[in-house]
Structure 1
Amino acid sequence: MKLNAIERAAMNNPIRAAHQHHREAAWFHRLAGGNLAGQNVLEVGCGRGVGAEVLLDRLHANHVTAFDLDDTMVELARQRLHQRPVSLSVGDICDIQQPAASHDTAVDFGIIHHVPHWQQAIAEIARVLRPDGLLLFEEVPRHILDTWTFRKFTVHPRENRFEPNEFTAELSRHGLHGTARIEHHLGGLIFIGAARKS
């Protein structure tokens, strides 16, 4: 699902960008066991390109392939990442237009909870990761999406949401096994983790 105007404002501002560049980059650096130097990285749901910028500048990815369902966001990402080692496209996480086993790492900066058929999204991520490839994820759990604030001001699928244990069980079902304990941040607003493809 595309973001509404309130969510766009919340996700596309200097505070959010600074948080991604500093705190989220540090979390993913730790969960990855270091940087992503030399890696071909897939970002699912690129928004206006801040995540790809973080992957290149903070985690030192060699190349980032990124897509988003919203063509307006992809155009903003193109402007932001002009002449950077990034491939951008409009795309659907449930039908990733990349070959099987083509990426070293996939990164989810809080996109999968927007996807009605999130299990299919995980299956697609597993498909495009090479053996021993890594998924780094940051997600919002069901009990947060069910709060009055989220129901009133954001647009998310209402059915078939997940808590961290359900999310990691689905990862395991597709051969993506956790590399560390799930961490909760921002007062439980999000959970983060990493899983490696067996």
Structure 2
Amino acid sequence: MKLNTVERAIMNNPVRAAHQHRREAAWFRRMAGGDLSGQHVLEVGCGRGVGAEVILDRLGAARVTAFDLDESMVELARRRLHGRPVSLSVGDVCTIEQQSATVDTVVDFGIIHHVPAWQESIAEVARVLRPGGLLLFEEVPRRMIHSWAFKTFTVHPLENRFEAEEFAAELARHGLHGTARIEHHLAGMLFVGAARKN
């Protein structure tokens, strides 16, 4: 599901970018137990390319493959990341165009809660990760999506949503097991965690 105008403005501004570069990068570095040096990382839902910048500059990945459902966002990411070791395309997290077991790490900067059939996206993430590969995720729980502010100003699927424990259980069902306790941040507006593939 594509972002509406309000959420696009919230997610694509200098404050959000600074937050990703500083706090979110630090969360993911801690969850990963260090940086992602030398790794091929897949970012699901790349937006305008800030996440890929974070993955390269703050987490030390060697190269990034990234996609987004929104063509206009992919074009912005292309301009932002020109000349960087990033491959960009229009794509859907429920049908990832990547061979099985070929990615070292998948990074989800709050995309999966936008997916109506989110369980399918977890299955796809598990498929593309190599054995021992890592998923780093930041997600929004059901209680936030059902809040007045989210329902009034953003567009999200309302059925079949998840809390952190349900998200973790679905990961485990696909062989992705948590590497640390899930952390709740920003007064419970999001949760952050990591899971490794068996």
- TM-score, normalized by length of structure 1? 1.00
> How many Å separate the matches in 1 of 2:148 and 2:50?
29
> How many Å separate the matches in 1 of 2:104 and 2:146?
34
Report 1:22-101 matches (<5 A): 22-101=22-101
Gaps of 5+ in 1: none
Corresponding pairs, count: 198
Gaps of 5+ in 2: none
CA deviations on 1:37-69 (whole Å, 9 max, x unpaired) are 000000000000000000000001000000000
The corresponding residue for 1:161 is 161
Structure 1 stretches (4+) deviating beyond 3 angstroms? none
CA deviations on 1:132-179 (whole Å, 9 max, x unpaired) are 000000000000100010001000001000000100000000000000
> How many Å separate the matches in 1 of 2:32 and 2:168?
17
> How many Å separate the matches in 1 of 2:81 and 2:94?
25
> How many Å separate the matches in 1 of 2:124 and 2:34?
25
CA deviations on 1:22-45 (whole Å, 9 max, x unpaired) are 000000000001000000000000
**Cα RMSD (Å) of the superposition?**
0.3
> How many Å separate the matches in 2 of 1:58 and 1:159?
35
- TM-score, normalized by length of structure 2? 1.00
* Secondary structure at the counterpart of residue 192 of structure 1: strand
* Secondary structure at the counterpart of residue 126 of structure 1: helix
The residue identity in structure 1 corresponding to 2:107 is: V
